[in-house]
A and B are shown apart, each in its own frame.
Chain A
Amino acid sequence: AQSVTQLDSQVPVFEEAPVELRCNYSSSVSVYLFWYVQYPNQGLQLLLKYLSGSTLVKGINGFEAEFNKSQTSFHLRKPSVHISDTAEYFCAVTGGGNKLTFGTGTQLKVEL
């Protein structure tokens, strides 16, 4: 079984500042990792995913994440955030089966 930990429930940041949202996972098998974003009153939308290969993954809206197997982490980063990035961000993991295990989410609040 897999599990995901998102330690930060809320991350406030000023516009144009960099941000990192943390995600750690545990699994006894190789994993596929995902970051989803949820805007208010909407469903989840895929930002990026790690399947294999390069550990640095680039996604939509200028986000990227780095898979670190030794630290079992998959942190999400953006060098300069915009007001429109205000949303909830979910890290998710699967061991190749059909079920995604989601973290509890991190609310990113971008302030002027």
Chain B
Amino acid sequence: DAGVIQSPRHEVTEMGQEVTLRCKPISGHDYLFWYRQTMMRGLELLIYFNNNVPIDDSGMPEDRFSAKMPNASFSTLKIQPSEPRDSAVYFCASRGPGGHNEQFFGPGTRLTVL
């Protein structure tokens, strides 16, 4: 299994531009999580899906952030418009059924907004 796949690995953009981050979870996993990691705030859960349905988006910082999961093998996190304070590493993780199961993390997307 290739694990969780994220693209791009690095993204540099200018303030005001739209940014789309992509994630392919592990096949058969029914939970998908989006996290943001910064030095100041550590690892924050932004949103998670179960069977492609958003369950909890309370961590999404602003309306500029949106996430979708059109099918079991693909999810996007979009920022529009982007701001310098959005610079961070964004991780996607997936998990099989069961609250105690391991979350498998992707390698992350390092976003820099100039």
Contact = CB atoms under 8 A, between A and B. Distances in A.
B25 interface: no
Interface in B56-112: 56, 91, 93, 99-100, 102-108
A83 interface: no
B43 A102 contact: yes
A103 B37 CA distance: 12
Interface residues of B, number: 20
A35 B84 CA distance: 31
25 contacts: A32-B100, A34-B102, A41-B108, A42-B107, A42-B108, A43-B93, A43-B105, A43-B108, A44-B91, A44-B93, A44-B105, A46-B102, A46-B103, A46-B104, A49-B102, A90-B43, A94-B100, A96-B99, A96-B100, A98-B48, A98-B55, A102-B43, A103-B42, A105-B42, A105-B43
A53 B55 CA distance: 31
Contacts of A99: 45, 48, 56
B50 interface: yes
Given A99-B48, A100-B45, A43 B106 contact: yes
Interface of B: 4, 31, 42-43, 45, 48, 50, 55-56, 91, 93, 99-100, 102-108
- 3 tightest A-B contacts by CB? A43-B105, A32-B100, A96-B99
Interface of A: 32, 34, 36, 41-46, 49, 51, 90, 94, 96-100, 102-105
Nearest to B105: A43
Contacts of A98: 31, 48, 50, 55-56, 99
